[in-house]
Amino acid sequence: MTDTITIPKQSVRSTSSAGIADCDIHPELKDRYGLHPYLSKRWRDHLDEYGELGFEVFSGNITYNGSTFNGYRRDALPPNGGPPGSDLALLRKQHLDPNNVVFGVLQPMVGLANGGRNLDLSNALSTAINDWQIAEFVEPEYRLRASILVVPDDAVAAVAEIEKRALDARFVQVEIFTGTTEPLGHRRYRPILEAAAQHGFPIGMHISGGRVGARTASGWPSYYCESHIDLTFAAQTQIMSLILEGVFDQLPSLKVIIVECGCAWSIDLGHRLDMLWRRMGSEVPTLKHPPSHYLREHFYFSTQPVEEPDNPEELNYLFEQIGWDRLMYASDYPHWDFDDPRYAFKARISEEHKALLFRENARKVYRIL
C-alpha cells in the first residue's frame, strides 16, 4: 500500500498556451489484480474470496455495454495484452501525441463507481484507485491529471479523501458519478461539496454509478440506443437538485462539470426551471436568483457525445445559448464513440471560440496555469 506524496501546486510543470485540453480520458486496470499493489492484504484477500458487492442487477456485468467489447475501440487493444486504456504508451501514440494534448483529465471508471453496499471496501477501493492513477499514469506522464474518486454514501470518508489529496496539484477535481443513491443536492452530501469548494476542486460528474433498479422512471429500455440516451436523465436530476436545494447560494465558488452527458438539453432545462420558479418560487424562497442563473454560472459541460444537428452550423447556435465559456472538449478515449478533436465539430467555429472550447475553459476550471 502506498502513501500519496504531497506536491506543492507551484511545482507542477505548466502547459503552454497552445494545444488541446481533454477532460475525459478513461484509464483502465491491466487485469483484475491491477489494484492489489495499492490495497492492504485484508482487501486483497477479500476481493479474491468474495469479489465486489455493488448495486448492479447482474453482478460484475453491464446490462448494456456498447453492443460489444465493453464499449471500447477495438484498435485500442494494447499490443502486449490488457484492455484498452491500460497501456500508457498506446495512449500517447493514439491520442496524446498526434492530437497535441497538453493536459488530459483521467476519469477512472474502475472499482465500484459511487460505491457498493460494503462501504469499507468501497472506501479502500477509492483510495487505491486514486493512488493507482498517480503511480501508473500521472507520475510517468506529466500531461495527465487525476480525479479524486470518493464514495458519496460515506461523507466522512469522502471528506477525508479530499483532504488527503488537497495539496497535491496532480489532482484537479472530485469525481462523483451521476448515479448517486439520492440527488446530490440533499444535505447528506453537503460536507463533500463543502470540502471540494474549500479546496477549489470542481465536482466532475460522469455518467454511470451504482443503482438498485432501472435508470428510467418506466423500467428497463429495450435497446442500447435508449440506454445510451437515458444516461443523461440522471445528469438533469443532479442539476435540478443542486440548484433547488440552494447549494450554490451556500457555496458560491463551487463548479460542477457534467461529463459525457451531452449538453443541448440544458438549454430547455434552464427555461423550464425558470418558468416553474416564476410560478412556484414560494416553495424555494431562499433561492436568490432564477434557476437558469445558477445553471449558467456554476455548470460546465464536456462536449462528448456532442449533439450533431443535420445542419452543422446550428451547433454554433446551440453553443452560443449554452455559453462558449461553459464548454470543454472531451475525447472519451478509448471508448467506441471517441471524438477525435480534428473531426468532432463539423461547424465552422471561430478561432476565439476554438481556444475556449479546446483549452482555455478547462485551464480555468481545473486551475492549470
Residues 6+ positions from 161 with CB-CB distance below 8 Å: 123, 126, 127, 130, 148, 149, 150
Strand order in the sheet with 203-206: 20-25, 101-106, 144-149, 171-177, 203-206, 256-259, 299-302, 327-328
pTM: 0.90
Please tell me the predicted confidence (pLDDT) of residue 366: 97
Q: What are phi and psi of 291, to 5 degrees?
A: -55, -40
Q: List the domains of the chain with CATH numbers.
A: 15-366 (3.20.20.140)
Measured between alpha carbons, how far is 260 from 271 in angstroms, rounded to an integer?
22
| Residue 299 per-residue DSSP state | E
Cβ pair 185, 244 in contact under 8 A: yes
Cα angle at 199 between 196 and 200, to 5 degrees? 80
| Residue 200 per-residue DSSP state | T
Averaged pLDDT, 31-43? 94
Determine whether 19 is exposed, middle or buried from the number of CB atoms within 10 Å of its CB (0-12, 13-18, 19+): middle
| 251-265 per-position pLDDT tens digit | 999 999 999 999 999
Q: How many residues does the chain have?
A: 369
Q: What is the mean pLDDT of the chain?
A: 88
Cβ pair 4, 130 in contact under 8 A: yes
| 75-125 per-position pLDDT tens digit | 889 998 899 999 999 999 999 999 999 999 999 987 665 677 889 999 999
